[in-house]
Every structure is written in structure tokens, then in C-alpha cells.
């Protein structure tokens, strides 16, 4: 039995759901985190002592951290597809997963929280502006990389596109001014038409 804990409004849960859907793996998703609570309950903390989502349970095996889950799914169920066999290509997928987790998503976090989850009268425009500037730096890097490329690594869709795609979905749907990035936009529009993306990427909330 495979169970994924986490609400779909979480960008990290979206990555795991996208991976599961791409691979056609059966799973049960249990709402947790945010308004659903549960993450401080003793039984959940026993699964993930950080009290965060997502958590994957699979026949007694428990795994947390979204990119670890994505790597596990791709390596274990689609090596050569979502996870390339060639070592250098696989290393590049790792590179972009790490960059998404350490640079791109953190850069958008304050703008997301301020514009989506904070009442208008409590928002701090200076915080938003700093977050947008940092996000634009990351968007420029990704746009330059994707220029002339159909996907993040090589000529086929990989786990890197899932992680970057979920982060880009958040960035492009924030109600903030943005510089238009043609290559980034074209890539995003291409991957978001995938059925698995439609299942994983709801409106921001």
C-alpha cells in the first residue's frame, strides 16, 4: 500500500503527486498540513519528526523531504525515463533538484506568503519586493538555461522538470509584476499540458 500525506496546496506535495501521477503508481493521498492540521499529532510526528509535508509511506517504508521522494520514485520506477541512466545526465537532474530546493522556491516564499496567505492590510511591500527581486534572478537563470532546450535536462521530460515545474507554477501565478521570460514560459506551457501536471498543480491557495 502506498500513501502520500499532504495537502495539494503545498508546492512540495505537488512535486510528489506529479511524480506518482507520471509513473501511474496507485496511491492514497491523505490531507495534512495547513488548515487540515494533523502534522503535530503524535502519530504523524512519528512518521516525520519535522512535522512537515509530504510524507510517503510504502509497505512500511517511510520517506520525507519532497525531492528525496521524487528521486526515490524516479530511480525506483522509471530509471532511464524520469531518471536518466547516463551518469552525467543524472547528475544534472540532481543539480536542478537541489537548485529548486535551495534557490528558486526559497526566493518565492515571502512573495507567496505575503500575496496569497496574508490579508492585504497586513502585507509588507518591502518584503514582497525583495522576494520578487530574488525570484527574478532565479527566473532569469532558468530562462537562459531553457533557451533552445525542450526540457531541463536533455531532450526528454525528467524529474528535474517536475521540481522546476512546480516551482515555476507558483512563481508565474503570483499576483506580482514579472519580467516576461519567453523560454521559461514556453517550457512551462509545454509541460503543464501533461495529464500528471493537471492532477498536481491546482490554483494557488
Residue 87 burial (CB < 10 Å; 0-12/13-18/19+)?
Answer: exposed
Q: Which of 166, 103, 93 is nearest to 136 (CA)?
A: 103
pLDDT, tens digit, 9 for 90 and up, residues 126-166: 999 999 999 999 999 999 999 999 999 999 999 999 999 99
Counting residues of the chain whose pLDDT is more than 70, the rounded percentage is: 99
Q: Which of 176, 178, 170 is nearest to 202 (CA)?
A: 170
Cα separation, 192 vs 199, in Å, equals 10
Question: CB neighbours (10 Å) of residue 5?
Answer: 26
pLDDT, tens digit, 9 for 90 and up, residues 109-126: 999 999 999 999 999 999
Cα separation, 86 vs 75, in Å, equals 12
pTM for this structure? 0.96
Residue 2 burial (CB < 10 Å; 0-12/13-18/19+)?
Answer: middle
Domains of the chain: 2-77 (3.40.30.10), 87-198 (1.20.1050.10)
Cα separation, 189 vs 182, in Å, equals 10
pLDDT, tens digit, 9 for 90 and up, residues 30-44: 999 999 999 999 999
CA dihedral 71, 103, 202, 149 (to 10 degrees): -70
Q: Which of 17, 69, 38, 159 is nearest to 9 (CA)?
A: 17
Amino acid at each position: 500500500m502506498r500513501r502520500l500525506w499532504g495537502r495539494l496546496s503545498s508546492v512540495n506535495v505537488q512535486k510528489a503527486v506529479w511524480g506518482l501521477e507520471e509513473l501511474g503508481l496507485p496511491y492514497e493521498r491523505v490531507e495534512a498540513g495547513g488548515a487540515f492540521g494533523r502534522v503535530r499529532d503524535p502519530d504523524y510526528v512519528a512518521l516525520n519528526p519535522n512535522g512537515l509535508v509530504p510524507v510517503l509511506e510504502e509497505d512500511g517504508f517511510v520517506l520525507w523531504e519532497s525531492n528525496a521522494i521524487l528521486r526515490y520514485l524516479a530511480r525506483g520506477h522509471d530509471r532511464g525515463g524520469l531518471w536518466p541512466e547516463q551518469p552525467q545526465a543524472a547528475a544534472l537532474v540532481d543539480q536542478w533538484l537541489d537548485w529548486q530546493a535551495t534557490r528558486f522556491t526559497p526566493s518565492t516564499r515571502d512573495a507567496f506568503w505575503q500575496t496569497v496567505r496574508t490579508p492585504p492590510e497586513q502585507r509588507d511591500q518591502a518584503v514582497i519586493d525583495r522576494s520578487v527581486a530574488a525570484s527574478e534572478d532565479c527566473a532569469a537563470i532558468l530562462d537562459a538555461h531553457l533557451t533552445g532546450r525542450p526540457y531541463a535536462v536533455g531532450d526528454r521530460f525528467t524529474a528535474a522538470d517536475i521540481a522546476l515545474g512546480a516551482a515555476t507554477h507558483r512563481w508565474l501565478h503570483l499576483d506580482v509584476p514579472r519580467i516576461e521570460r519567453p523560454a521559461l514560459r514556453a517550457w512551462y506551457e509545454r509541460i503543464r499540458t501533461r495529464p500528471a501536471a493537471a492532477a498536481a498543480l491546482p490554483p494557488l491557495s
